[in-house]
Amino acid sequence: MKVQKVKYYACLDQVTSQEVTSYLSKLDGFEEIDAVNWPDSYPLKPKSKFKIARSSSAFFIHFVVNEKQIKAIYSNDQDPVWQDSCVEFFCQIPGSKTYFNFEFNCIGTCLATERKSRTEDVNPLSPEKMSQIKRYASLGNEPFEEKKGNFNWTLTVEIPFSLLGIDPDNLPASIKANFYKCGDETSVPHYVSWSPIEVENPDFHRPEFFGELVL
């Protein structure tokens, strides 16, 4: 199981999303999203990595991606962004029977739910809660059809602890989590994870294979 320390940076309480991107990009400790769990069917592994840090009230995640095709046709939150060029953060709080999935295409459009499994008790976050998820995408936020070439893009997101039911004054010692890079409806579909997933077919909704984030 992968384990990653989430460091606290006081300055993150006061900076803008764009400033966060610059700050996090200069830090050491990036983790690779490089587990190709289904190599026979989906061998593509775009170069993808992330850095996660925290302020006193939120997680900050900075994704860095290099890939040969990019796509972002969805621009409304809760659209099926996993079909675009997508990065994802799933997490589970200790003692909870549910987990959260936050999925972002490369222009920052987000799908987010709390659920028990891929199909059980799926509860999308409300528009009010979605508005609290801050995003800064290097590609901007205008949708576009697939492009082919050699593309580098970043996405920085801020997820308040309050959306996860975490008390900022009483943080758990750790939470379970995984990070993903996918693109179900791109010209070359791919399904890559940070913590490896040991099931027969692509399925990111497997909390039993989450890694650990130490707070």
4-32: average pLDDT: 90
Give CA–CA dist 21/23, Å, rounded: 5
What is the rounded average pLDDT of the residues 108-131? 97
User: What are 63-110's pLDDT values in tens digits?
Assistant: 999 999 999 999 999 999 999 999 999 999 999 999 999 999 999 999
| Average confidence (pLDDT) over 15-31 | 87
Express each pLDDT in 161-199 by its tens digit: 999 999 999 999 999 999 999 999 999 999 999 999 999
Residue type, 53: A
Res. 202 pLDDT band, cuts 50 70 90: very high
- Return the sign of the alpha-carbon dihedral for residues 142, 143, 149, 153: positive
Q: Which amino acid does the sequence have at 151?
A: F
| pLDDT for residue 27 | 87
- Is the CATH number 3.40.50.740 carried by domain 3-214? no
* 85 contacts 180 by C-beta, under 8 angstroms: no
Check: pTM over 0.85? Answer yes or no: yes
CA atoms within 13 A on the CB side of 191: 20
Do residues 153 and 75 make contact, with C-beta atoms less than 8 angstroms apart? no
